[in-house]
Amino acid sequence: MITEYVYSKNDLLSKPQKYQKTPFEGIEFLKVYKKSRLDLLEKENFEDFKLNDFFIDFKNLEWPNPKKFKLFDFLSVLLSQSNKDDQKIQFDRLLKKFEIKKKLYTEYNSEFKELSENFQNLKNYMLFGLLCIDHYEKNYSLKYLNTFLKINDILCSQVSKILEEDQNLFCYLITKEIEYIDKLCKGRGINI
């Protein structure tokens, strides 16, 4: 019997979870997973997060220097221009890089080679999570949902390090995750 959701228990920035060949452990696993997320939300005090308020900061942004850029700037521009075709191509390149290393570095070059050793900026993971939401809601590709779950596992493993100013965004991400998983389960006749 599964009693604990282990995928966000340890520090996933120091020791990334590979998720390879992980067997599905059934409905009991889904229930334990959901309970762990709900318990985390209950523990955190937060107000209703309004996503539109968050995007005000990103209007009229310019693409960062293509040879060397800070990930925060890059993600911010992607969020502000989410309807452009080029945005999806760039995001998919970064997503592929993340899936290999399970880390988001603060600086990259145009080929998405890391120019920094710093991967601790949790705001980058949150912005990346918002982009996963955006892409998932546009085409319902499980690739984006899968990456979103991994991002949230990382954030949950770092919950004590999330800045107070970012807690509403974090709670929004977890709430959206639960919403998506519930919807997928209900579509298959599973009630968690």
Residue 30 to residue 135: CA distance in whole angstroms: 24
Averaged pLDDT, 51-58:
50
Q: Which of 67-81, 92-106, 173-187 has the lowest mean pLDDT?
A: 67-81
Angle 38-155-128 (CA atoms, 0-180°, nearest 5)?
115
User: Alpha helix (H) ranges present in the chain?
Assistant: 26-43, 51-55, 71-80, 85-101, 122-139, 142-157, 167-187
The reported pTM is 0.87
Structure-model confidence comparison of residues 168 and 46, the more confident one: 168
Model confidence at 46, in pLDDT bands (50, 70, 90)?
A: low
Q: Which of 13-17, 150-154, 163-167 has the lowest mean pLDDT?
A: 163-167
pLDDT of residue 157 exceeding 60:
yes
**Residue 67, amino acid:** K
What percentage of the chain has pLDDT greater than the value 70? Answer: 86
pLDDT of residue 179 exceeding 50:
yes
